[in-house]
Amino acid sequence: MKIFQIAIALLFSLSIYSQKPAYVIYNAKGKKVGYKKMLKDLSKKNIVLFGELHNNAVAHWLELEVTKDLNKNKKIILGAEMLEADNQTQVNNYLNGLIDAKTLDTVARLWPNYKTDYAPLVNYAKENKLPFIATNIPRRYASLVYKKGFTGLDSLSSLEKSWIAPLPIIFDSELPTYKNILKMMGDHGTPELVMAQAIKDATMAHFILKNYKLNTTFIHYNGAYHSNNYEGILWYLKNKNSNLKYATISTVNQENLSKLKEEYLNIADYIICVDTDMTTTY
């Protein structure tokens, strides 16, 4: 009987490990990491930058799961690139039950995929009475920088300037991430285009630090490009406060999940490698 039980247990374990995974988590060196081990490490950090691919269903699901699990044993604050700073009042009104989801959709500038991909996070914050910070620069000001550079922001009112990172904006055009933008855009790339990316990174970092509280973990959801290679948002965070403990997550797609591609090594502390056949949200 005991032998039979062992055989059944062995077959069961083999069936589990023979399943095809939808994703695999790797560390920066390309070593596979279990979810619980990653979570344990994230719980020790002050700020976590969760870099997603905006249409990646696995990334959106894991954002919610990581948030729920960290919230079990740690005070957390949530924030996102997908909400703009001048809509914070409307977001707070929704979190506090003063307006409903339909009204929020009317009075705030929500992304087209908000209902499927980000509403679950905002609703979780509402249900658990957690802060949710709108960290991104209002898009009209990013557009202004794209047209006129940082000097275009000088003419803004005091109220408008309260929705962006404090001026003057520190900027390093030699960072590989920014140089790569120019390379990818070819003839369409301009210094102002890179500045428009930098003002987003600087503003998100500003509102993360402004709303961070001692003994909490601030989880920030952003496009992976805003934090990959330990640059972007993280560069601005460390420039203002290098004493906090940071962690970055990135999301990538691969056909074969058995080994992380060399090009993805060291882009983040944790890399969520998703099967390219996974259904996207748009």
**Using 50, 70 and 90 to split pLDDT, how confident is the model at 3?**
low
Q: Which CATH architecture has domain 22-275?
A: 3-Layer(aba) Sandwich (3.40)
User: Which residue's entry shows tokens 């898009």?
Assistant: 139
Residue 217 has pLDDT above 80, yes or no: yes
Q: In angstroms, rounded to a whole number, what is the distance separating the alpha carbons of residues 262 and 176?
A: 17
% of the chain residues with pLDDT over 90: 90
Other Cβ atoms closer than 10 A to 7: 10
Kind plus residue range of the DSSP H or E element containing 77 = strand 75-84
**Using 50, 70 and 90 to split pLDDT, how confident is the model at 18?**
low
The overall average pLDDT reported for the chain is: 94
Q: 3-state DSSP helix/strand/coil percent for the chain, to nearest 5?
A: 50, 20, 30
The model's pLDDT over 126-159, given as tens digits with 9 standing for 90+, comes to: 999 999 999 999 999 999 999 999 999 999 999 9
3-state DSSP assignment of residue 119:
helix
pLDDT at 101: 98
**Using 50, 70 and 90 to split pLDDT, how confident is the model at 64?**
very high
R_g of the chain, CA atoms, integer Å? 20
Residue 7 has pLDDT above 90, yes or no: no
User: Which residue's entry shows tokens 């905002």?
Assistant: 122
pLDDT at 12: 47
Q: What is the DSSP pairing of strand 246-254 with strand 132-136?
A: unpaired
Structural tokens at position 152: 């275009």
Q: What is the DSSP pairing of strand 47-52 with strand 23-27?
A: unpaired
The model's pLDDT over 181-215, given as tens digits with 9 standing for 90+, comes to: 988 887 777 999 999 999 999 999 999 999 999 99
Domains of the chain, residue spans: 22-275
For residues 158-186, one letter each, b for 16 or more C-beta atoms within 10 angstroms of the residue's C-beta and e for the rest, the string is: eeeeebbbeeebebeeebebbebbeeeee
pLDDT at 17: 55
Q: In angstroms, rounded to a whole number, what is the distance separating the alpha carbons of residues 57 and 282?
A: 9
For the whole model, what pTM was predicted?
Answer: 0.92
For residues 227-265, one letter each, b for 16 or more C-beta atoms within 10 angstroms of the residue's C-beta and e for the rest, the string is: bbbbbbbbbbbeebeeeeebbbbbbbbbeebeebeeebe
**Using 50, 70 and 90 to split pLDDT, how confident is the model at 252?**
very high
Alpha helices in 109-256 (DSSP H): 119-127, 139-148, 158-161, 176-185, 191-211, 233-240
